[in-house]
């Protein structure tokens, strides 16, 4: 660990200015770079797959409140392109589910008997 610390603290400055780095690379934190380097050295895939064993993945999460909570709490900047793809697909599923709820509510509202008073909408 000490050797790694010394090497990283004495590393030369990059040969190109920080604003010349492409967008994806600029978004990578030192922790992500370290993780990717360790994966490369170990001969493992560059994508973190251990998180899939910790619970339901977004692509398998049923639409509803739990999926909405997980999407809201996700830090988009920390996602890999593959994870971001699954995030977008999960958000699309949630939106379609919510649209189905809205359509069902509208059809029930429109099917209400005409004798029933409609809500006033706050006007007096």
Q: Are residues 39 and 74 in the same domain?
A: no
Residue 124 is assigned to a structural domain of this protein: no
The tokens for 83 are 């994870």
Residue 121 is assigned to a structural domain of this protein: no
Q: Are residues 59 and 106 in the same domain?
A: yes
Q: At what angle do helices 81-110 and 65-73 cross, to 10 degrees?
A: 140
Q: Are residues 39 and 59 in the same domain?
A: no
- On whether the CB atoms of residues 58 and 67 are closer than 8 A, the answer is yes
Mean pLDDT, all residues of the chain: 77
Q: Are residues 59 and 108 in the same domain?
A: yes
Q: Are residues 35 and 68 in the same domain?
A: no
What's the pLDDT at 8?
Answer: 56
This model's pTM is above 0.95: no
Domain count, the chain: 2
Average pLDDT over residues 87-91: 94
Q: Which domain holds residue 6?
A: 1-46
Residue 120 is assigned to a structural domain of this protein: no
- On whether the CB atoms of residues 47 and 85 are closer than 8 A, the answer is no
Residue 19 is assigned to a structural domain of this protein: yes
- On whether the CB atoms of residues 93 and 67 are closer than 8 A, the answer is yes
């Amino acid at each position: 660990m000490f050797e790694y610390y010394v090497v990283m603290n004495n590393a030369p400055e990059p040969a190109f200015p920080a604003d010349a780095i492409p967008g994806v690379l600029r978004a990578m934190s030192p922790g992500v770079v370290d993780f990717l380097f360790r994966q490369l050295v170990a001969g493992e895939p560059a994508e973190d797959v251990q998180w899939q064993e910790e619970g339901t993945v977004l692509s398998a999460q049923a639409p509803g409140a739990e999926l909405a909570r997980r999407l809201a709490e996700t830090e988009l900047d920390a996602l890999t392109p593959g994870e971001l793809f699954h995030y977008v697909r999960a958000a699309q599923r949630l939106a379609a589910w919510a649209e189905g709820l809205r359509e069902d509510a509208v059809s029930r509202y429109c099917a209400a008997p005409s004798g029933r008073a409609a809500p006033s909408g706050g006007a007096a």
